[in-house]
Amino acid sequence: MVPISIGVSIALIAIGILIVIAFGVRSIIFGKVELQKVIYMAVPFVIFFISLVIADDAIRAGIITLLTMMALMILLIVVSGFRNLFNF
């Protein structure tokens, strides 16, 4: 009973993800969403897949992605602070 329910729950999650992706693409096509915002949301996934190719292990790729995103966050906070400091 347990393996069946796990399989069904994984299938429902996969169907939900596919529906979200389909409606996201539909929103981009109809112009309801700016492409720049979609690109910003895709950055962690791109970093993960690049690090997955480099690390050959999903766990290490996840850690590399986490550290990279934290470094980018700190860098962007510093850049934003400098922009506000010098009123660019």
Over 19-82, what HEC string results?
HHHHHHHHHHHCCCCCHHHHHHHHHHHHHHHHHHHHHCCHHHHHHHHHHHHHHHHHHHHHHHHH
For residue 2, is pLDDT > 80? no
| Inter-CA distances, 45 with 33, 62, 86, Å | 19, 10, 33
Range scoring the smallest mean pLDDT among 36-45, 46-55, 73-82: 36-45
For residue 30, is pLDDT > 70? yes
- pTM beyond 0.75, yes or no: no
Cα separation, 65 vs 35, in Å, equals: 23
